[in-house]
Structure 1
Amino acid sequence: MRMLISVMILAMLAGCVSPAMDAARSQAPTRVLASEKATALVAECIKFSWQDESVFGVDASAYINNDKAGKQTVYTRGAESFADLTPQGTGTAVSYYAQQPGDAAAMRRLAMLATCL
């Protein structure tokens, strides 16, 4: 039962954040970065670091969305911050987006993301 509720909540969150992500993607990313690591490893690292309650408090949420082309998106609740990860050779191209780029939480998420590269 818990699993079913969790799946339903994630599906609802994905539906809510998609328009916010699409709107952000119509603009230039807050920061563009690159890694020599595989996309899946970078995505898991970002997700784990963004879930650190000691840094982000009780709202330390992060989720991963995969598409069929191998691209992954790590995003927070409400897509306040998200990172598009695209396989590039043996490495990964990362585009980081923040609704409020100068916000302290957005800057911390960018710093945590950078540690995963």
Structure 2
Amino acid sequence: MFKMVIGALVLAALAGCAGSKMKEARAGSPYKTLASDKATLVVAQCIQFGWQDERVFGVDAGGFKEATEAGGYTVYTTAGDYFVDIQSTGAGSTVKYYAVEDNMPAKRRLAALATCL
């Protein structure tokens, strides 16, 4: 029981850090804005699954999906260094990808999400 409580507290702390980092990133411009003909949920699930691939991302593999108040989804990594906001646009979706810096991990995440469009 104690381990479960500690685990929940650690996850809550990480979510708080990731949330503030994501809020700060949204105040600026996305790393890349993309469009898809697919529904938001389909795109979000695909990105989440792709980002969880340990063969590609190793120990950094992680993808979490949350519904947004605006009716879309956010898919993000554990620390929130990489995330996408997916919003409905007509019959398709707009995908805004945010990355902490322009480096190889950012490019790998972008390549993985591009296969979902």
**Both structures adopt the same fold (TM-score exceeding 0.5):** yes
User: Are 1:56 and 2:63 matched, yes or no?
Assistant: no
Partner residue of 1:98? 99
Question: Secondary structure of the residue that 1:78 maps to in structure 2?
Answer: coil
Give the alignment's TM-score, normalised by structure 2. 0.88
Please give the per-residue CA displacement for 1:4-56, whole angstroms capped at 9, x wherever unaligned: 87766544432221110011111110000000000000000000000110010
Stretches of 4+ aligned residues off by more than 2 angstroms: 1-14
Q: How does 1:7-18 map to 2 (within 5 A)?
A: 10-18=11-19
How far apart in 1 are the matches of 2:6 and 2:116?
Answer: 31
How far apart in 2 are the matches of 1:70 and 1:4?
Answer: 31
Partner residue of 1:77? 78
81 and 69 in structure 1: CA distance in 2 versus 1, 3 angstrom threshold: same
Give the alignment's TM-score, normalised by structure 1. 0.88
Partner residue of 1:46? 47
Alpha-carbon offset, residue 3 of structure 1: 8.3
Partner residue of 2:30? 29
Alpha-carbon offset, residue 67 of structure 1: 1.9
> Superposition RMSD on alpha carbons, in Å?
1.9
Give ranges in structure 2 of 5+ residues lacking alignment: none
Give ranges in structure 1 of 5+ residues lacking alignment: none
Amino acid at match of 2:108: R
- Total equivalences in the alignment: 116
* Percent of pairs with identical residues: 50
Which one has a bigger Cα radius of gyration? 2
Partner residue of 2:112? 112
